[in-house]
């Protein structure tokens, strides 16, 4: 991922390549004033790095913030935050975290790994993620499918701001075509720890 440091923030953006935990650790050693990891416009990538970085963030007691989209392995980094929130760094309707299963290089779901992923999600959501909802998203058969958590203030996504997309929908029609589970919003599911929108100084 690309790195930008503006203490107390470290911005991580782009593809998750596998060295993120080491990069973050080195940055914190050089800049001990870092308190907050801002995850910005990442479609994910290396699955192991997502888990390892999320666990490291939690171990260090760092906060995480969303800027734009954060999907797949990026979402596990976000869930590592001791506190987790949406930010005003980008428009709220473009700020979203997306969860799904673990997939092989050919895009097929790695079913044997799903119980461990489900348990990890529930643990790092501080025990709040609805098990039935997690079960649905970790078993999405397509790697293009996601459970998207928007801030509930974003219009057009139902009262909870949650969409469950199979991955076959036209991206421009997701709001119309994706299921809206009504099993709690991002706060109720422990995806964020507050619905207050964090202000990031420009």
- Tens of pLDDT along the chain (202 residues) come to 999 999 999 999 999 999 999 999 999 999 999 999 999 999 998 888 999 999 999 999 999 999 999 999 999 999 999 999 999 999 999 999 999 988 888 888 888 888 999 999 999 999 999 999 999 999 999 999 999 999 999 998 989 999 999 999 998 899 999 999 999 999 999 999 999 999 999 8
Residue 101 pLDDT = 86
Nearest partner of 120 among 58, 41, 166, judged by Cα? 58
Residue 110 pLDDT = 87
> How many CB atoms lie under 10 A from the CB of residue 2?
12
Tokens 């440091």, residue? 5
Class of domain 2-177 (CATH, top level): alpha beta
| Backbone dihedral region for residue 73 (phi beyond 0: left; psi -120 to 50: alpha; all else: beta) | alpha
Contacts of 149 (CB under 8 A, 6+ apart): 96, 97, 98, 99, 161, 162, 185, 186, 189, 191, 192
Task: State the DSSP code for 198.
Answer: B
């Amino acid at each position: 991922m690309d790195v930008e440091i503006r203490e107390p923030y470290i911005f991580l953006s782009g593809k998750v390549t596998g060295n993120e935990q080491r990069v973050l650790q080195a940055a914190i050693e050089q800049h001990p004033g870092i308190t907050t990891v801002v995850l910005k416009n990442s479609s994910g990538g290396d699955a192991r790095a997502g888990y390892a970085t999320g666990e490291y963030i939690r171990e260090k007691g760092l906060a995480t913030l969303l800027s734009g989209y954060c999907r797949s392995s990026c979402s596990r980094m976000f869930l590592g935050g001791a506190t987790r929130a949406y930010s005003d760094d980008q428009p709220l309707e473009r700020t979203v975290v997306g969860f799904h299963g673990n997939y092989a290089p050919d895009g097929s779901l790695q079913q044997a790994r799903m119980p461990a992923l489900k348990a990890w999600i529930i643990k790092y959501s501080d025990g709040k993620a609805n098990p039935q909802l997690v079960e649905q998203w970790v078993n999405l058969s397509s790697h293009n499918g996601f459970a998207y958590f928007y801030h509930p203030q974003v219009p057009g996504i139902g009262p909870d701001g949650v969409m469950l997309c199979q991955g076959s929908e036209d991206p421009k029609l997701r709001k119309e075509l994706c299921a809206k589970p009504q099993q709690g919003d991002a706060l109720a599911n422990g995806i964020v720890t507050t619905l207050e929108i964090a202000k990031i100084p420009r």
